[in-house]
Amino acid sequence: MAKKVSVRLPAEWEPQSGVQLTWPNEGGDWRGRLDWIEASLAGIACEVSVREICLIATDNLERTADIIRKAGARMDSVRLYEIESNDIWARDHGPITVLKNGRPVILDFAFNAWGLKYPGNLDNLLTRRLAEAGAFGKTRVRTLPLILEGGSIESDGAGTVMTTAECLLWPNRNPAYNQRQIDAQLRRYLGAERILWIRNGHIPGDDTNSHIDTLARFCSKDTIAYCGCDDPSDESYLSLKALEEELRALRTLDGKPYRLERLPMPTPLFDAQGDRLPANYANFLIINGAVLVPAYGVPQDSQACHILAECFPNREIIGVDSRGPVVIYGALHCVTMQIPKGVLS
């Protein structure tokens, strides 16, 4: 009789071997703002490198190394690879690692830049290029045709995956598949026992079709932190209220309501053209021994850190300036991808 194959998508709070960043280049969205975003990423690299490996894909090894060294990164924990990219959003083009019979396997899903909104040809190849360069050692890399972004899925590590219908059913991602078919593929590739399809919630300025990592995050198997809004005049109020009601109706695998922790919305931020930016606190990153929380220089920063300290009592809570990436419609979690224990060395 064939041995049963067990596949599991680890929760973000499980032990990690490292975090991937994709360094910005001098073209594209960052022209004239490169120093700002590099400072933000260097801050993340510093916090990561004292706790685990920081893996960086960059088209300029010398410049990147110089920046993070001057910022105070622990260089013996940094791994730099010279690879071209379109953009910095490692969460969405980076490796998604599952455990197959307890051993890590990297899934390289297709990436088409959030439904063909932007150029993404180089980012779609980035995980393969890292693998070819030896970044993942002997870990198997499996390339898959399904278009799936890391920011669109949340795992509790115990068989539940949470996602949003707006994103995964967006017609420019996987037009040949309906919800039932995508659900089946997530169960197959990620080992999910059930998929929680969230149908409400939108952060103003978001251009990902409502990634779950901007709305609601697992903090444990029975705890979800989510974005809430108290201002009825805010454009996100009704959508986030509906999200809250939807989350209240969810149940854990053992049939109990989730413990829900409501994160505030930061004071609205706008770009130079007056467009609202997608600032939020759900976009935090869990690493070994700490939680990195996006900070925007507004009063709600400290409140968000306090709430997340209640969710993660055994981890250090660290605010990281995220005003750089939010100008181009992302934040801290969006620019990172955690890699579980057993992959990097």
* Whole-number Å distance between alpha carbons of 323 and 35: 12
Sequence-distant (6+) residues with CB within 8 A of 162 are 153, 154, 155, 156, 195, 196, 198, 212, 216, 218, 224
Catalytic residue among 227, 229, 311, 334: 334
* Whole-number Å distance between alpha carbons of 83 and 195: 34
| Residue 334 designated active-site | yes
Task: Locate the DSSP E strands across 183-299.
Answer: 194-198, 216-220, 223-227, 259-263, 285-287, 290-295
* Whole-number Å distance between alpha carbons of 325 and 145: 29
Q: Is 336 left (phi over 0), alpha (psi -120 to 50) or beta?
A: beta
* Whole-number Å distance between alpha carbons of 250 and 152: 18
Whether the Cβ atoms of residue 269 and residue 299 lie closer than 8 Å to each other: no
CA dihedral 107, 113, 119, 121 (to 10 degrees): 20
Catalytic residues, by residue number, are: 334
